[in-house]
Structure 1
Amino acid sequence: MLRWIIFIILYIALGVYTLQALRAVTRFPWVYFAYMAMSLLVLGNFIYQFTLGDNPGRVLSVPKSYAFGFLLAMLSFKAITIIFLFSEDIFRFISALYLKINGTPKFFNFPERRRFLSVLALGIAALPFSALLYGMYRGKYNFKVLRYNLEFEDLPDGFDGYQITQISDVHSGSFDNREKIEYAIDLINQQKSDLLLFTGDLVNNKAEEMLPWKDLFATLHAKDGKYSILGNHDYGDYVEWDTEELKRNNLEQLKDLQQEIGFELLLNESRYLTKGNDKIALIGVENWGRGGFKKAGDLNKATAQIMEKDFKILMSHDPSHWEDEVLKHPYHYHLTLSGHTHGMQFGIEIPGWIKWSPVKWRYKYWAGVYEELGQMINVNRGFGFLGYPGRVGIWPEITVITLKKKPLT
């Protein structure tokens, strides 16, 4: 309760401070009242959804996600405005102090706020505010197909030109638009890939989240099959279960759902894919992540039935596994496919110019293709979304990878 009281006081204080910029820009009272009403409505909805709503507690429902999203947009607007106002107030204080010391005014008076600076502050603050609202309205379903041609010297000849579609981080419990998901499923099938690989996080927390979408995902197809692994959210670790048995049953239900959809779930296992006399090894490990995430992945167990010389494709949900274990493993993993980061669902990407997201401060390998020690990884930006119900600049991704035989020089 104390945390809520402190949060409410801080939120209202920030709102009152931001109101000073509006007062400097316009003299229409209805603008002030509209701002205050919207600010309080966002706060009230957030408190309601996280305390008295239909789904209180840690589990994120769609209404709770939107409540968080609107709060995030409002806080970003206030924070940026306050940065300008606070900077100006420091200057105003120094100016008033200087004049007082020199005996110019009889009393200690602050100079008036400069209207131009308030207009600038509100204008800049409106950019992330609008972007976050757009991200919730359209950005989260702005699916992009990203294509990569990856060359390997020791790729078996039969797999030259072999096409793989990768999706990751579905987070079906966050979906709220069936038409958009139907479009995305059709987009995946339009790629007509040889292989479809899903690299974890089918749900946010509970297997039941996937039930409304099971029939759609069952229509996914690829010539040589569909394979999947588990992500950290698939284990139900972020739910306060009444009993351990309920948690175990939830995981078993999710495994059954994957089978019903048509995915072959690899749990620290491997399979051979063949083309004539040529073959490549497909390996799938359970989740392994640093920083408190579940470490159920076992590379040695997963590769017990394959040979060191085999061409290998590894599915591992968290890219920190590649950095911490895969690269150091005695076996050479030609290509690893991961997800997990979502690109933080926020950033700036202009191909060939800039690729930036705050998530880079946590994950060295956070989006796209990287190469280290002659081994490659693709970190998929995610199909769905979690927490903030939107995406800004980092769009939902369908990856299409074509394996190519590197010409001998």
Structure 2
Amino acid sequence: MLRWIVFIAIYCIMGFYSLQAIKTASRFPWVYYAFMALGLLVLGNFIYQFTFGDSEGSVLNRPKSYAFGFLIAMLTFEIITIVFLFSEDIFRTFSALIARTFGSSTEFSLPARRRFLSMIAMGIAAIPFGALLYGMYRGKYNFKVLKYDLEFEDLPEGFHNYRITQISDIHSGSFDNRKKIEYAVDLINQQASDVILFTGDMVNNIAQEMVPWKDLFSTLTAKDGKFSILGNHDYGDYVRWETPELKARNLEALKELQKEMGFDLLLNESRYLQKGGDKLALVGVENWGRGGFKKAGDLKKAVSQINKDDFKILMSHDPSHWEDVVIQDEYHYHLTLSGHTHGMQFGIEIPGWVKWSPVKWRYKYWAGIYEELGQYINVNRGFGFLGYPGRVGIWPEITVIRLRKKGLV
């Protein structure tokens, strides 16, 4: 209860402070009241969804996600506005002190706020505020197909120009628009890749979230099949289960769902893909993540049935596994496919110019292709979304990677 009181108090203080910019910039009282009503509505909805409306315990459902998203948008507007107001208030305070000390007046009086500065503050604050709302309305379904060509000297000739489609982080429990997901599934199939690889987090919390989408994702096709691994959200670790048996049953249900959809789920296992007399080793590990995430991945077990000299593609959900374990392993993993970061669903990307997201402060390898010690990783930005129910600048991704053998056309 105390944390709610503190949170409400801080939110109201911030709202009152940022209201001063609106009062300075606008002469119409209805604008002030509209801002206060919006702020209280956002706060009230957030409190309701995470207390009285919280019938699902720790499960982050769609109503909670939207309540969180609107709160983030409102707080962003207020924080940016407050930065301008606070800077001006420091200037106003010093001006009043100088006037009181060296001027003829004996009274301490703050100069009036400057209207143009309040308008600038509101204008700048409106940009991320609008972007966050746009991300919730359209950005989360702004699917992009990103294509890469990767060359290898030791790629078996039969796999020259072999095409891989990677998807990751479906998070089906967040979906709220079937037509958009139908479009995205069609877009995946249009790539006509040789194989489809899914790198974890099919659900947010429970297997049941995938049931309404099972028929749709069952239509994904590739001539060499569909393969998958588990991500940290697939284990049901973020739900308060009544018994360990219910949690285990949920995981088995998700595994069965993947099988019914035509995915070959690799649980610290490997498979060989064949092209004539050539073969390629596909390795899949369970989730292994740094910083408190589940470490069920067993790389040694996963490669126990393949040869050290095989050309290897590793599926590992969390890119910290590649950084901490894979690239230093005695085996050479030519290409690793990961996801997990979502690119934080927020950032700025201008191909060839800028690629930035706050998630870079947590993950060194957070989006796109990286190379270390002659080994590649692709960190997929994710198909779905979680927490904040939108995307700004970091769009949902379908990756197509073409393998090429150096020296061949």
| Distance in 2 of aligned mates of 1:249 and 1:47 | 32
| Distance in 2 of aligned mates of 1:240 and 1:104 | 68
Unmatched 5+ stretches in structure 2: none
Aligned residue in 1 for 2:164: 164
Amino acid in structure 2 at the alignment position of 1:401 = I
Aligned residue in 2 for 1:90: 90
What is the deviation of 1:54? 5.2
Does residue 405 (structure 1) correspond to residue 405 (structure 2)? The answer is yes
What is the deviation of 1:57? 2.9
Aligned residue in 1 for 2:44: 44
What is the deviation of 1:100? 1.1
Does residue 26 (structure 1) correspond to residue 26 (structure 2)? The answer is yes
More displaced 10-residue stretch of structure 1: 89-98 or 313-322 = 89-98
| Distance in 1 of aligned mates of 2:58 and 2:132 | 23
Amino acid in structure 2 at the alignment position of 1:133 = L
Aligned residue in 2 for 1:273: 273
Given that residues 205 and 238 in structure 1 are in contact (C-alpha distance below 8 angstroms), is that contact kept between their aligned partners in structure 2?
Answer: yes
Amino acid in structure 2 at the alignment position of 1:350 = I
Aligned residue in 1 for 2:140: 140
Aligned residue in 2 for 1:174: 174
Aligned residue in 1 for 2:370: 370
Given that residues 51 and 57 in structure 1 are in contact (C-alpha distance below 8 angstroms), is that contact kept between their aligned partners in structure 2?
Answer: no
| Distance in 2 of aligned mates of 1:105 and 1:326 | 72
Given that residues 55 and 61 in structure 1 are in contact (C-alpha distance below 8 angstroms), is that contact kept between their aligned partners in structure 2?
Answer: no
| Distance in 2 of aligned mates of 1:55 and 1:291 | 29
Aligned residue in 2 for 1:186: 186
Amino acid in structure 2 at the alignment position of 1:273 = L
Q: Deviations over 1:320-376 (max 9, x none)?
A: 000000011000000000000000000000000000000000000000000000000
Give 3-state SS (helix, strand or coil) of 1:327's partner.
Answer: helix
For 1:53-68, list aligned pairs within 5 A: 53=53, 55-68=55-68
Amino acid in structure 2 at the alignment position of 1:55 = S
Query: Which segments of structure 1 move beyond 6 Å, counting only runs of 4 or more?
Result: none
Does residue 257 (structure 1) correspond to residue 237 (structure 2)? The answer is no
Does residue 248 (structure 1) correspond to residue 248 (structure 2)? The answer is yes
Given that residues 166 and 199 in structure 1 are in contact (C-alpha distance below 8 angstroms), is that contact kept between their aligned partners in structure 2?
Answer: yes
Aligned residue in 1 for 2:130: 130
Amino acid in structure 1 at the alignment position of 2:216 = L
Amino acid in structure 1 at the alignment position of 2:380 = N
Given that residues 347 and 357 in structure 1 are in contact (C-alpha distance below 8 angstroms), is that contact kept between their aligned partners in structure 2?
Answer: yes
Give 3-state SS (helix, strand or coil) of 1:370's partner.
Answer: strand
What is the deviation of 1:102? 1.1
| Distance in 2 of aligned mates of 1:228 and 1:18 | 48
Give 3-state SS (helix, strand or coil) of 2:328's partner.
Answer: coil
| Distance in 1 of aligned mates of 2:162 and 2:352 | 26
Q: Deviations over 1:14-37 (max 9, x none)?
A: 000001001110110000000000
| Distance in 2 of aligned mates of 1:288 and 1:21 | 48
| Distance in 2 of aligned mates of 1:27 and 1:57 | 45
What is the deviation of 1:106? 1.8
Give 3-state SS (helix, strand or coil) of 1:200's partner.
Answer: coil
Give 3-state SS (helix, strand or coil) of 2:401's partner.
Answer: strand
Give 3-state SS (helix, strand or coil) of 1:71's partner.
Answer: helix
Given that residues 166 and 398 in structure 1 are in contact (C-alpha distance below 8 angstroms), is that contact kept between their aligned partners in structure 2?
Answer: yes
| Distance in 2 of aligned mates of 1:6 and 1:230 | 38
What is the deviation of 1:103? 3.9
Aligned residue in 2 for 1:209: 209
What is the deviation of 1:99? 1.2
Distance 1:321-1:188 versus aligned 2 partners, 3 A rule: same
What is the deviation of 1:55? 3.2
What is the deviation of 1:394? 0.2
Does residue 327 (structure 1) correspond to residue 327 (structure 2)? The answer is yes
What is the deviation of 1:406? 1.2
Amino acid in structure 1 at the alignment position of 2:166 = Q
Aligned residue in 1 for 2:297: 297
What is the deviation of 1:217? 0.4
Aligned residue in 1 for 2:4: 4
Unmatched 5+ stretches in structure 1: none
Given that residues 289 and 320 in structure 1 are in contact (C-alpha distance below 8 angstroms), is that contact kept between their aligned partners in structure 2?
Answer: yes
What is the deviation of 1:284? 0.0
Aligned residue in 2 for 1:285: 285
Aligned residue in 1 for 2:220: 220
What is the deviation of 1:56? 4.8
Aligned-pair RMSD on alpha carbons? 0.8
| Distance in 1 of aligned mates of 2:290 and 2:54 | 33
